[in-house]
Amino acid sequence: MTIEISAEARANPVSNAECRSMNGYGMVKGNFAGWAIRIAIKSTNHRFLDVKTRIPESLDPFEHQLRQTVRSRIRRGHVDVHIMVEPNEELAIRVNRELLKGYMVAAEDLRNRTGGKSELDTVALFRLPGVIGDTASVFPDSEERQQQLGQLLESLLQSALVRMDEMRRAEGQRLTQELRSRVDKIADQCVQVCNLVRTLRPTYARRLEARLKELVKGSTLEPMRLAQEAALLAEGSDITEEIDRLQSHLTQFTKLLDDTGELGKKLDFLLQEMHREVNTMLSKTPGVESEALAITGLSLEIKADIEKLRESVQDIE
């Protein structure tokens, strides 16, 4: 009987030193006094930490501690902990024959009253409450043995958490690579937009100036004032600041991927800010010049890539 933290759990402690997915699964088995115990733990994405347990009623005294163990290891996600207890082959099955006889008499009486013709299902009878000695017998009488059972459950849960964490880390590494690749792509697109903006700015200023001259033809507006107004209008359509902020967000995003702790919410917040900047870029880039159309096309690509980043980030712890 194992009553210590497993070597696997000691050699691979669950840590938060890298980006992790919220999706994972781990399962381990153990034995206690003729009973086979299996613990399966599964996690999926969730905004907060939500721990659900499905355990035999006889193990209820250990539920709080098992929950605390999960909470000490997992930061975010929907976590299902399922503990199953079954008798080993060498464990004799105790049948409550008097109760079984009562069920059979009641079933026969009901069949006679209703005119039913179906035969009694032996397997179904064994599933009725109390017919077979249930898993309550796994809970020992002595305090010492209860402590040993608690230690075994803790050890099995730790091992299951380690196995689930291995899957979460592997998925996290895949997600990180995918995120870095897409961030690099957006960074390249931002450079292209910057180059186009420098090319478009004087062209747009000249177009505005010509348009203003046409509108104020015959007025006494001074040429210097006219040029100033054109420059102001051109500046109102300048997206340099939005690009600078977007590039700053990309840098922060990359740094966060190397950080520790609860990264998913921080990454999602940055992506919301990026989404806001690219929307502003689209609204401030009018015109049919080839440069303006190219900026609009690149901005739409950036927006689509940001949406894909947000989809991936939803799975990060």
Mean pLDDT (the chain, rounded): 82
Taking phi over 0 as left and psi of -120 to 50 as alpha, with beta for the rest, 270 belongs to alpha
109 and 203: one domain? no
What is the per-residue pLDDT across 226-253, written as a single tens digit (0 to 9) for each? 566 556 655 556 788 899 999 999 999 9
User: 121 with 206, same domain?
Assistant: no
pLDDT at position 211 is 64
Which domain range does residue 262 map to? 172-313
Could you read off the pLDDT of 294-304 as tens digits, one per residue? Answer: 889 999 999 99
Checking if the pLDDT of 15 tops 50, the result is: no
Contacts of 141 (CB under 8 A, 6+ apart): none
Predicted confidence at residue 291, as pLDDT, reads: 76
Is the confidence at residue 178, as pLDDT, over 50?
Answer: yes
Residue 9's pLDDT is what?
47
Q: How far apart are CA 196 and CA 298, in angstroms?
A: 10
Same-domain pairing of 176 and 304: yes
Q: Is the pLDDT assigned to residue 134 strictly greater than 70? A: no
On whether residue 26 sits in a domain, the answer given is no
**CATH code assigned at 289:** 1.20.140
**pLDDT category of residue 16 using cuts at 50, 70 and 90:** very low
- Could you give the CA distance from residue 187 to residue 189 in angstroms, rounded to a whole number? 5
Are residues 115 and 221 located together in one domain of the fold?
Answer: no
* DSSP β-bridge partners for residue 85: 37
Residue 154 falls inside a structural domain: no
How many domains is the chain built from? 2
Q: Is 70 among the domain residues?
A: no
Residue scoring higher pLDDT (70 or 35): 70
Residue 124 domain flag: yes
Do 291 and 222 belong together in one domain?
yes
Are residues 122 and 225 located together in one domain of the fold? Answer: no
Of the candidates 87, 83, 66, which has an alpha carbon nearest to the alpha carbon of residue 150?
66
Q: Which of 12-21, 33-42, 182-191 has the highest mean pLDDT?
A: 182-191
Range among 11-25, 94-108, 182-196, 258-272 rated most confident: 182-196
Please indicate, yes or no, if residue 42 is contained in any of the structural domains: no
Whether 144 maps to a domain, the answer reads no
Question: In terms of domains, do 181 and 241 share one?
Answer: yes
Query: Residue holding tokens 């958490």?
Result: 161
